[in-house]
Amino acid sequence: MKLRKLIFLPVLLILVLSCNKNDNPAPEQFVFPSKVINKIIVDTSGLKWFATEKGVISYDGMKWTTYTDDKGLSTGPIADLAFDLATGIKSLLLASNVGLSAFEFGATAISFQNYNTTNSEILTDTISAIGVDGSNVKYIGTTKGLSILKEGKWAEFYGRRNQEILSRYKISSVAPASNGYVYVSTEGGGVSRYCDAVSGQTTLNKPWAWGLPSDTVYTVVITQDSCQWYGTDKGVGYHLSPYTKNDWITYTRTEGLICDSVYAIAKDLSGNMWFGTHKGVSKLSISPTDTIWTNYTTKDGLIANKVNAIAADLDGSVWFGTDEGISHFSNNKWEKF
């Protein structure tokens, strides 16, 4: 009898624990459509938007949301995101391999509009980058050049005359500046600058733009006074003016950058510059008396070292998109998704 009790009691305990577990199931967790994050932007309400390899998702600080293709929204690779600045409209522009999607969202209604070669004059359906200027003109980087949509009318730009760099090299990013210039970076052809159809067409490449570390440029970001930050495969180029040959500063591993392959750049609310690289994240803090570099990798809490996207949040924190998910850096602490 004593032997039977010893066998029976553990079995009874297992049955009780199993029943308790089934009666109180764990809450369902959000399943990311893809771990690969290509772009992050934050809207004026603080809602975070993420372009993934399998569609777009958002996060409001509490809830994750994924968006379906029931009205034409692509659930394939989303290369870039930008906000439509039309008055009274909350609209997100999505770059994909099936055209440009204008995703309008609000409290009760969601609608979509797609621009592709069958219903518009866009150069091609394969889009790698988007930029929108202060007049709501849309600059769309395609595999055949730059498509421009202004007040319902289409135009094209291929780069400086007789060079046509934008049809020969992949467009990696588009960044309009407040002074009217639009900077279009390429992977192999440097940067094409556009102002209008007859003026301001300039190529920033080696050796003329001596401070640009390489003609393989993965991203361009504009900060105050239309200064440009370029992330390349050989470091960062910082250009303080519109003059091609003047006012350049170059940052590489020699200065403190963690890796010279720089895919993403962002400026936070404190004025720090963040660089996403192939081997982690670098933060550059510049003061009148000092320049400080701080580097972060998976050893510090970053979810993965290859960082494709960075965005500064309204609360001063910073978001990072990688090939393995999302990291959030707030109050010197890392959070992983």
**Domain containing residue 90: CATH number:** 2.130.10.10
CB atoms near residue 216 (< 10 Å): 19
The predicted pLDDT at position 226 comes to 84
- Out of 272, 287, 316, a domain closes at 272
For 164, residues 6+ apart whose C-beta sits below 8 A from its C-beta are 145, 158
The predicted pLDDT at position 319 comes to 98
Is pTM beyond 0.85? Reply is yes
Cβ proximity of 144 and 186 under 8 Å:
no
Residues 238 and 302 in one domain: no
In a domain, residue 28? The reply is no
Residues 294 and 267 in one domain: no
For 32, residues 6+ apart whose C-beta sits below 8 A from its C-beta are 52, 57, 64, 325, 337
53 exposure class (CB count in 10 Å sphere: 0-12, 13-18, 19+) = middle
- Residue that the structure tokens 């400086």 belong to: 160
Residues 227 and 318 in one domain: no
Cβ proximity of 253 and 260 under 8 Å:
yes
In a domain, residue 51? The reply is yes
For 125, residues 6+ apart whose C-beta sits below 8 A from its C-beta are 97, 98, 99, 116, 117, 142
The predicted pLDDT at position 113 comes to 79
In a domain, residue 199? The reply is yes
CB atoms near residue 29 (< 10 Å): 7
279 exposure class (CB count in 10 Å sphere: 0-12, 13-18, 19+) = middle
What are the φ/ψ torsions at residue 230 (nearest 5 degrees)? -115, 130
Per-residue pLDDT of the chain in tens (337 residues, 90 and over written 9):
444 444 444 443 333 334 344 443 434 578 899 999 999 999 988 999 999 999 999 999 999 988 866 555 667 899 999 998 775 567 889 999 999 988 776 655 466 778 999 999 999 999 999 999 989 999 999 999 999 999 999 999 999 877 889 999 999 999 999 988 999 999 999 999 998 765 668 899 998 899 999 999 999 999 987 899 999 999 999 999 888 888 999 999 999 999 999 999 999 999 999 999 999 999 999 888 888 999 999 999 999 999 999 999 999 999 999 999 999 999 999 999 9
Residues 91 and 202 in one domain: yes
Residues 287 and 298 in one domain: yes
Residues 113 and 173 in one domain: yes
Residues 200 and 286 in one domain: no
In a domain, residue 8? The reply is no
Residues 172 and 318 in one domain: no
Side chain identity, residue 253:
R
In a domain, residue 325? The reply is yes
Which of the 8 DSSP states describes residue 31?
P
Tally the domains of the chain.
2
Residues 321 and 230 in one domain: no
| Paired strand residues for 142 | 127, 145
Residues 260 and 309 in one domain: no
In a domain, residue 55? The reply is yes
In a domain, residue 1? The reply is no
Strands 171-176 and 228-232: unpaired
- Out of 272, 288, 309, a domain closes at 272
Residues 206 and 317 in one domain: no
The predicted pLDDT at position 85 comes to 74
In a domain, residue 26? The reply is no
Task: Tokens for 27, please give them.
Answer: 């809450």
The predicted pLDDT at position 87 comes to 57
Q: Which domain holds residue 291?
A: 273-337
- Out of 272, 305, 320, a domain closes at 272
Residues 308 and 196 in one domain: no
